[in-house]
Amino acid sequence: MANCVSESISRGAVTDALNTTNSQAIFEAAKELMPGGVSSPVRAFKSVLGDPVVFDRVKGPYAWDLDGNRFIDYVGSWGPAICGHAHPEVITALQDALEKGTSFGAPCVLENQLAEMVIEAVPSVEMVRFVNSGTEACMAVLRLMRAFTGRDKVIKFEGCYHGHADMFLVKAGSGVATLGLPDSPGVPRSTTSNTLTAPYNDLEAVKELFAENPDAISGVILEPVVGNAGFITPEPGFLEGLREVTQENGALLVFDEVMTGFRISYGGAQERFGVTPDLTTMGKVIGGGLPVGAYGGRKEIMSMVSPSGPMYQAGTLSGNPLAMTAGIKTLELLKQEGTYEKLDSITSRLIEGIKKSAKEAGLPITGSSISAMFGFYLCDGPVRNFEEAKAADAQKFGALHRAMLNRGVYLAPSAFEAGFTSLAHSEDDINSTLQAFQESFAEIA
């Protein structure tokens, strides 16, 4: 893809100000031990300047690396850390839970508690199944879509990421886009032949796919707000239109709220935009920093899942008591008065400040935020889909990323990932971040 800048990026005017001696030594060793030195691809910084810093610890809005450098963190472990890292109440609850054991492999009351909270919060969810990751949730939901409708095909959108299961690795966002991978080797054509794709925000394209594949499409899955191709919001009428067209065609509408769930609002993007899908996938925030995923929806559909129904899906560690505990405490914290107003306010101040200083430095920029999620592209807007996102200057973003790191701000190491704020980010943190942006834009312009 056009944005694959990998090794070719030049250092340009950015001079390294950080001492990263220990990080470098550990990362060099890691490269011999793990592919690319990481457990997940985008962490390797391949599309931005330099090597990754290796984290030692995290607290509140901050991360510290092995050389003692402190960063204001806008990655938040890729989404879960919405209350800030290692929130004292989450840690205390986990310490108490730890005393009772780390895994039960049997029903536990904590599952009921988190399930009740999710069902109460998320409009589409009447019943939920816990799994261990967002990938697992999306993989299972697709099986459920097929089982319920008796149809094999699915529509997804270009630049949306639904985890790394075979049938979703078609025009996917996140690392697939960042690293410029066309499709992954090892995914059989037979697996993806049932995956149809359309540009995000293009309702007509979806209607055409339904017309071309009568009675064959099980449903439409999407990130209701896209965070894996940068940050793209739905145009007015798009989500409503998808609700209508799926209903008209006897197909299911699925919101992948792994990223947006409990972040765009307490009830997710579906609450914020007032469109209720049939099924929803979740992850990240509902695990409070421990490995969790979930899928849920109408009882009639969820009753197909084993052992209520015939659709098989299982997991050794699913409903893990530690993960449930962290999730429950995190949702309790989020439920407090004023949470989303605060997140909205700091994040919109951040994005407006970023845009202002880019423009002052003479750089093209477009960007926006909703609640605790934001993103910008170094190009003139609007960006309504992945194709338009590709106009962003990924080389410049690479330089910007390093310039910000040098000034103590940790951004996602990709031009195609959203940014995340948290309740722990103070007005002072936002001020320091904006100062860093101002200097960095001036440096790279």
Ligand X SMILES: Cc1ncc(COP(=O)(O)O)c(C=O)c1O
Per-residue x/- mask for ligand X, residues 119 to 138, rule CB under 6 A? --------------xxx--x
Task: Considering the candidates 65, 202, 256, 278, report the single residue annotated as catalytic.
Answer: 256
Question: What is residue 218's three-state secondary structure?
Answer: strand
Closest residue to ligand X: CB criterion:
134
Give the residue from 142, 146, 147, 144 showing the smallest Cα distance to 162.
142
- In sequence order, what are the beta bridge partners of 280? 255, 296
Q: Please, which residue, 134 or 289, has the CB nearer to ligand X?
A: 134
Task: Considering the candidates 284, 329, 390, 396, report the single residue annotated as catalytic.
Answer: 284
Size of the site for ligand X (CB under 6 A): 17
Interactions with ligand X, residue window 301-360 (CB under 6 A): none
Q: Please, which residue, 258 or 430, has the CB nearer to ligand X?
A: 258
Separation of alpha carbons 176 and 193, rounded Å: 19
Please state the closest distance from residue 107 (CB atom) to ligand X, in A: 24
Q: Which CA distances in Å does 125 have to 119, 120, 277, 287?
A: 5, 8, 9, 17
344 is catalytic: no
Q: In what order do the strands lie in the sheet with 419-420?
A: 366-370, 373-377, 419-420
Question: Which tokens go with 356?
Answer: 């202002």
Separation of alpha carbons 356 and 58, rounded Å: 30
393 is catalytic: no
Q: Which of 43, 162, 263, 401 binds ligand X (CB under 6 A)?
A: 162
Q: In what order do the strands lie in the sheet with 217-222?
A: 127-131, 293-297, 279-283, 252-256, 217-222, 153-157, 195-198
Q: Please, which residue, 161 or 266, has the CB nearer to ligand X?
A: 161
Please state the closest distance from residue 61 (CB atom) to ligand X, in A: 20
CA pseudo-torsion sign 330, 313, 250, 226 = positive
Interactions with ligand X, residue window 236-295 (CB under 6 A): 256, 258-259, 283, 293
Q: Please, which residue, 111 or 256, has the CB nearer to ligand X?
A: 256
Per-residue x/- mask for ligand X, residues 199 to 238, rule CB under 6 A? ------------------------x---xx----------
Please state the closest distance from residue 59 (CB atom) to ligand X, in A: 23
Question: Which tokens go with 319?
Answer: 């409903």
Q: Please, which residue, 53 or 254, has the CB nearer to ligand X?
A: 254
Please state the closest distance from residue 211 (CB atom) to ligand X, in A: 28
Please state the closest distance from residue 191 (CB atom) to ligand X, in A: 18
Separation of alpha carbons 254 and 156, rounded Å: 10
Please state the closest distance from residue 259 (CB atom) to ligand X, in A: 4
161 in contact with ligand X (CB under 6 A): yes
207 is catalytic: no
- Span of 106-114, 157-165, 177-185, 319-327 interacting with ligand X by CB under 6 A: 157-165
Separation of alpha carbons 63 and 56, rounded Å: 8
Interactions with ligand X, residue window 370-399 (CB under 6 A): none
Q: Please, which residue, 260 or 368, has the CB nearer to ligand X?
A: 260
Question: What is residue 142's three-state secondary structure?
Answer: helix
Please state the closest distance from residue 337 (CB atom) to ligand X, in A: 28
Question: What is the full DSSP assignment across 248-278?
Answer: HTT-EEEEE-TTTBTTTBTTHHHHHHT---S
Residue 335 carries which side chain, given as an amino acid letter?
A: K
Task: Considering the candidates 74, 161, 340, 377, report the single residue annotated as catalytic.
Answer: 161
Q: Please, which residue, 26 or 323, has the CB nearer to ligand X?
A: 323
Classify burial at 298, counting beta carbons within 10 Å of its beta carbon; exposed 0-12, middle 13-18, buried 19 or more. Answer: middle
Residues 6+ apart with CB under 8 A from 56: 64, 65, 66
Interactions with ligand X, residue window 5-44 (CB under 6 A): none
Helices (H) and strands (E) in the chain, counts: 15, 14
Please state the closest distance from residue 333 (CB atom) to ligand X, in A: 21
Catalytic residues: 161, 256, 284
Chain contacts with ligand X (rule: CB under 6 A):
78, 133-135, 138, 161-163, 174, 223, 227-228, 256, 258-259, 283, 293
